[in-house]
């Protein structure tokens, strides 16, 4: 009987050492971006978010993000521009259909519910490390993750040497998940 109790205790402790698994809900999530073109803000949206998220605010060393969006879904409310952005000199979606992020470390900040994630962003065949703050708010069956980061589009070979297009791109994330 003692062996059974010990086994049950170890099983419970082992289960609590792993972060809960979540799946992004594409219909409820947004990957928005803003960039200036000829000095005017151009906003866009990417959909088709997929992947897996393991998250436990009390066990961040066991937490991770491994997600991607479908680059072909780019939508700036201008079909001619969107078609151009899918071509080789921008996102080259035929060859690089996804934009992905894989975390390497998640840590707490000094603010409750706010965290920092470091990881690798892969876009158009180029992978670069990024780091940004995000919030994690519990929902009925998962979490809502919100954050934003800034990248240089030229670091990812997007847009070539276009002078009217700003080098700086701001990405805003609003990801809703369900528990697996």
What digits encode the pLDDT tens for the residues 88-116? Answer: 999 999 999 999 999 999 999 999 999 99
Q: Which two tokens stand for residue 42?
A: 């151009």
Q: How confident is the model at residue 2 (pLDDT cuts 50, 70, 90)?
A: low
Say what the pLDDT of residue 95 is: 98
Mean pLDDT calculated for residue range 132-137 = 98
Helix H segments across 2-65? 2-16
Q: Is residue 64 over pLDDT 50?
A: yes
Percentage of the chain lying above the pLDDT 70 cut: 90
Q: Which two tokens stand for residue 78?
A: 């201008």
Strands 20-24 and 98-108: unpaired
**pTM (predicted TM-score):** 0.88
Question: Tokens 């997929």, residue?
Answer: 50
Q: Which two tokens stand for residue 59?
A: 């066990």
Provide, for the chain, the percentages of residues in helix, strand and coil under a 3-state DSSP scheme, each rounded to the nearest 5: 20, 55, 25
19-179: CATH class = mainly beta
Q: Work out the mean pLDDT of the chain and round it to a whole number.
A: 91
Q: How confident is the model at residue 65 (pLDDT cuts 50, 70, 90)?
A: very high
Show the 3-state SS of 68-101. Answer: EEEEEEEECCCHHHHHHHCCCCCCCCCCCCEEEE
């Amino acid at each position: 009987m003692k062996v059974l109790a010990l086994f049950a205790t170890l099983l419970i402790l082992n289960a609590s050492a792993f972060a809960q698994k979540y799946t992004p809900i594409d219909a409820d999530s947004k990957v928005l971006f803003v960039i200036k073109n000829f000095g005017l803000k151009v906003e866009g949206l990417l959909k088709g978010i997929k992947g897996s998220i393991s998250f436990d605010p009390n066990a961040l060393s066991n937490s991770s993000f491994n997600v991607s969006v479908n680059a072909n879904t780019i939508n700036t409310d201008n079909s001619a521009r969107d078609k151009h952005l899918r071509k080789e000199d921008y996102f080259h979606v035929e060859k690089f259909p996804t934009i992905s992020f894989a975390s390497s470390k998640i840590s707490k900040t000094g603010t409750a519910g706010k965290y920092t994630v470091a990881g690798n962003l892969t876009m158009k065949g180029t992978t670069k490390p990024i780091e940004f703050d995000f919030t994690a708010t519990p929902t009925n069956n998962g979490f809502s993750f919100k954050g934003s980061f800034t990248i240089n589009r030229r670091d990812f070979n997007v847009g070539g040497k276009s002078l009217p297009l700003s080098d700086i791109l701001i990405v805003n994330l609003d990801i809703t998940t369900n528990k697996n």
